[in-house]
Amino acid sequence: MRTEGESRTFNRTEKGNQHYNSNTKRLRKMKCNKKILIRGNIRNESFMFSAMQKAAMFGLSGFVKPKSRGLVLIEAEGKEEQLNKLIDWCKKGTVWSDVDHVQVEKGQIKNHKDFIIKKSSLFQAFAL
């Protein structure tokens, strides 16, 4: 039979473990920022639109931007698990794309509100 003191010690330990577990879960759910550079034989416009749809589906924020012909930059923020899903999708690409290389770097959190398509000067030069 436990005394009152033993019971308190057990409860403190139990609460301590729960606290540890909630902190561990919280760390897994922290927001991350990743910069993803995709290179290959891709149609920039359709790839960017599809990337925006996937990012929204995964609950990510950030942007996708053409860098040059066959080169697209994605900066995305969200949970690491969701970012990894987007990275996996980028490696496969769309039906119309042939991805050669995907480079991923950690970035700084910028607290993007939505996921948008940014136009580069490449496309602005041809605008009327």
Mean pLDDT of the chain: 80
Q: Which two tokens stand for residue 107?
A: 């970035």
CATH classification number, 31-124, choose in 3.10.180.10, 3.50.30.60, 2.40.50.140, 3.30.70.100: 3.30.70.100
Q: Which pLDDT tens digit goes with each residue over 51-74?
A: 999 999 999 999 999 998 889 999
Whether this model's pTM surpasses 0.75? no
Contact 73, 90 (CB under 8 A): no
Percent of the chain with pLDDT over 90: 59
Tell me the pLDDT tens digit for each residue of 10-35.
333 344 444 444 444 454 458 999 99
**Is the pLDDT higher at 39 or at 9?**
39
* 44 vs 64 pLDDT, higher one: 64
The residue ranges of every structural domain in the chain are 31-124
